[in-house]
C-alpha cells in the first residue's frame, strides 16, 4: 500500500516516513502543497496524509482541489490545529480523518490501517486466500499453517496480491502500489521479487499460486493457493 505524506517539517516527515516504512508501506513525501497535488495527480495513492499549515497552498486547499479533481483516495489531516472548528472544517472539505499533533504513533498507524480498510471490503486485519493467511497488524504470514519469513517488500507484494485475488495485476499496478517514487521502471526488480515470493509460497505446490499472464502481468490464483 502506498502513501503520500505532505509535510513541510523535515524532522516530522522523516519520523513518520520511518514509522510507515516499518509498517511495510511505500511512502512518497512532498514538502509543500503544490508538490503534493502534483504527485497525487500522477499516482493512485492508497492514502494521503496532509499537514494543514504548509508553505504556499495549505492542506485544506489541497484537500479541496483533490476532491474537485475527483481524486478519492482517503485523506488524513495531521496538524497542530486542535479546535473543534478546525476539525469540522477539514472534514467538510473532504478529509476522512483528523489527527492532532503531537500524536501517539500507535494511534496514528491504527487509524492509517482503518482508513485503508474502509475503502475495501475486508473489515478485519487478517487476509486469507486459500491456505495463505496474512496478518496486516503483526505482518506474520502463514501458508498451510506454517509461518514463512518474508522481507518487507515481499510482504507488501503479497498483501497487494491478496487484496486483489484472482485479478490480473500489471507491473504498473505493482510499481504504483508497492514501490515509491524512486522505483526504476526499467529494472526487472518486480520479476525478482515475484520469483522470491513464489519460492517461499510454493514449496508444497505443484503449480505456483502466482501465475504469469503473458504480456500482461500476474494473478494470485485462489484455487491453487
Work out how close the CB of 205 gets to Ca ion at its nearest, in angstroms, rounded to a whole number: 50
Q: Which of 10, 42, 44, 53 is in the footprint of Ca ion by CB under 5 A?
A: 53
Q: How many CB atoms lie within 10 A of CB 87?
A: 18
Cell 505524506 found at: 5
Work out how close the CB of 39 gets to Ca ion at its nearest, in angstroms, rounded to a whole number: 17
Q: Which of 17, 32, 46, 51 is in the footprint of Ca ion by CB under 5 A?
A: 51
Q: Is 97 a residue that touches Ca ion (CB under 5 A)?
A: no
Q: Are strands 47-51 and 146-148 parallel, antiparallel or unpaired?
A: unpaired
Helix (H, G, I), strand (E, B) or coil at 27: strand
Q: How many CB atoms lie within 10 A of CB 167?
A: 12
Give the range of 36-44, 52-60, 149-157, 205-213 binding Ca ion by CB under 5 A.
52-60
Work out how close the CB of 55 gets to Ca ion at its nearest, in angstroms, rounded to a whole number: 8
d(CA 180, CA 15): 17
- Give the distance from CA 55 to its chain's centroid: 26
Give the range of 1-9, 97-105, 184-192, 196-204 binding Ca ion by CB under 5 A.
1-9
DSSP notation for 55-83: SSS-HHHHHHHHHHTT----EEEEES---
d(CA 150, CA 101): 33
The site string for Ca ion over 111-150 (x = CB under 5 A, - otherwise) reads ----------------------------------------
Q: Which is nearer to Ca ion, 8 or 176 (CB)?
A: 8
Give the range of 8-16, 22-30, 67-75, 160-168 binding Ca ion by CB under 5 A.
8-16
Closest CA to 49 of 102, 100, 7: 7
Work out how close the CB of 100 gets to Ca ion at its nearest, in angstroms, rounded to a whole number: 13
Work out how close the CB of 169 gets to Ca ion at its nearest, in angstroms, rounded to a whole number: 36
Residues making contact with Ca ion (CB under 5 A): 8, 51, 53
Amino acid at each position: 500500500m502506498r502513501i503520500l505524506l505532505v509535510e513541510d517539517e523535515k524532522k516530522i516527515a522523516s519520523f513518520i516516513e520511518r514509522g510507515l516504512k516499518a509498517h511495510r508501506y511505500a511512502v512518497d513525501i512532498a514538502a509543500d502543497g503544490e508538490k503534493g497535488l502534483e504527485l497525487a495527480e500522477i499516482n493512485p495513492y492508497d492514502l494521503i496524509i496532509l499537514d494543514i499549515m504548509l508553505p504556499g497552498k495549505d492542506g485544506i486547499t489541497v484537500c479541496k482541489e483533490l476532491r474537485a479533481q475527483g481524486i478519492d483516495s482517503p485523506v488524513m489531516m495531521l496538524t497542530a490545529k486542535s479546535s473543534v472548528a478546525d476539525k469540522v472544517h477539514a472534514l467538510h472539505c473532504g478529509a476522512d480523518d483528523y489527527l492532532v499533533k503531537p500524536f501517539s504513533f500507535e494511534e496514528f498507524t491504527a487509524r492509517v490501517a482503518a482508513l485503508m480498510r474502509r475503502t475495501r471490503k475486508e473489515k478485519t486485519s487478517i487476509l486469507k486466500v486459500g491456505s495463505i493467511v496474512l496478518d496486516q497488524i503483526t505482518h506474520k504470514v502463514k501458508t498451510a499453517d506454517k509461518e514463512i519469513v518474508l522481507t518487507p517488500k515481499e510482504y507488501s507484494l503479497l498483501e497487494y496480491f491478496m487484496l486483489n485475488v484472482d485479478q490480473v495485476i500489471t507491473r504498473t499496478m505493482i510499481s504504483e502500489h508497492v514501490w515509491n517514487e524512486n522505483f526504476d521502471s526499467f529494472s526487472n526488480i518486480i520479476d525478482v521479487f515475484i520469483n522470491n515470493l513464489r519460492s517461499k509460497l510454493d514449496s508444497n505446490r505443484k503449480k505456483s499460486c502466482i501465475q504469469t499472464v503473458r504480456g500482461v502481468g500476474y494473478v494470485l490464483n485462489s484455487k491453487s493457493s
